Structure 1
Amino acid sequence: MDILIVDGYNMIGAWAELRALKDKDLAAARDRLVEMMADYQAYTGYRVIIVFDAHYVQGTEKKYRNYKIEIIFTKENETADERIEKLAIQLNNRKTQVHVATSDFTEQWSIFGQGALRKSARELFIEIQAIDKKIEKNVQKIQEQRPFSKINLSNELLEIFEKWRRGQ
């Protein structure tokens, strides 16, 4: 099993779309990141965990699921980096490969020492763009295919039925 742990605010600060959204509405930027990672999760099959620092959201630690994404807001006085390191240690085993998405150089070395693989914000963004293109291509291919009919009809008859359907 592959697990991707994402440093949420690091991605928001690194990706132009999310950075612009953050300036207007931080919650909307977080929601958009979750949506993007949900597409990533659905396509790759990775278990995705997004970790956000608590200093933007005051209060106690919060964990919840949205789509199939696990979202964690760290407890007060705990950084996302600290939580990510703990998760990398807890989740890494023989059957699991942990990947951590962050552009924080110190964090990259720390998690690398725990046996996790790293992805920079740029690498993850490029991967997400490629996945979006593949999904779009698959959807387009499906839309172009003529609907399957259980009854084999000639093209003439299909045209007649189409005219009836359109009221012509």
Structure 2
Amino acid sequence: MVQDILIVDGYNMIGAWPNLRRLADENLLEDARDELISMLADYQGFSGMKVILVFDAHQVPGLGKRYRQSRLDIRYTKEKETADECIERLVYEWLNRRTRIYVATSDNVEQHVIFGKGALRLPARELFIAIEENRKEMRRKIKETEAKPRNSFESKLGDELKMKLERWRRGETP
């Protein structure tokens, strides 16, 4: 079975998606990151893809940081490493016969580089559309589930038996 992996350039998505860009423009970059994490966690849960979110921290001293939040693998690059370099390294590490890797970025140069390494490119706009479609599908499934009777006696009966019981209730002979 092939495992799908999505590697996301975090700040590239924040700059490309209107709702996140608005937060970042209002000096709420942390809120934009949190919203991106929430959106990708939902997407990962619904799509079944493993999602790795990479944030560029190459001008921040240190060894980088890696943690999990909402079952999402989040990475900050190490000192003097750009997000693009980290993404290229991850593609190289993860690529094998049992994985299909998608990289979400709108950086044209990075798209060509990762495509040359064997990964599939996913522009920021396409990922945004896919996430919105997933959200609509989740809402539809939730409504569908809520509309169904929950573990009631009636839900266990077949249509023919329901009709017989209804005729009996009305006093008709079955």
Spell out, residue by residue over 1:125-145, the C-alpha distance to the aligned partner (whole angstroms, 9 max, x if none): 010111110001001111122
Aligned to 1:18: 20
C-alpha displacement of 1:57: 5.5
Which of 76, 79, 82 is the equivalent residue of 1:79? 82
Which consecutive residues of structure 2, in runs of 5 or more, have no partner in the other structure? 158-164, 167-174
Matched, 1:133 2:136: yes
Q: Secondary structure at the match of 1:103?
A: coil
Larger radius of gyration: 2
Alignment TM-score, normalising by the size of structure 2: 0.83
How many Å separate the matches in 1 of 2:93 and 2:146? 44
The residue aligned with 2:37 is 34
Aligned to 2:118: 115
**Identical pairs, percent:** 51
TM-score with structure 1 setting the length: 0.86
Instruction: State the 4+ residue runs in structure 1 displaced beyond 4 angstroms.
Output: 55-58
* 1:104 corresponds to: 107
Give the Cα–Cα distance (whole angstroms) in 2 for the partners of residues 57 and 121 of structure 1: 25
- Cα distance, 1:148 vs structure 2: 2.4
How many equivalent residue pairs? 154
Give, as a single letter, the amino acid of the residue that structure 1 aligns with 2:124.
A
Q: Is the 8 A contact 2:59 2:80 kept in 1?
A: no
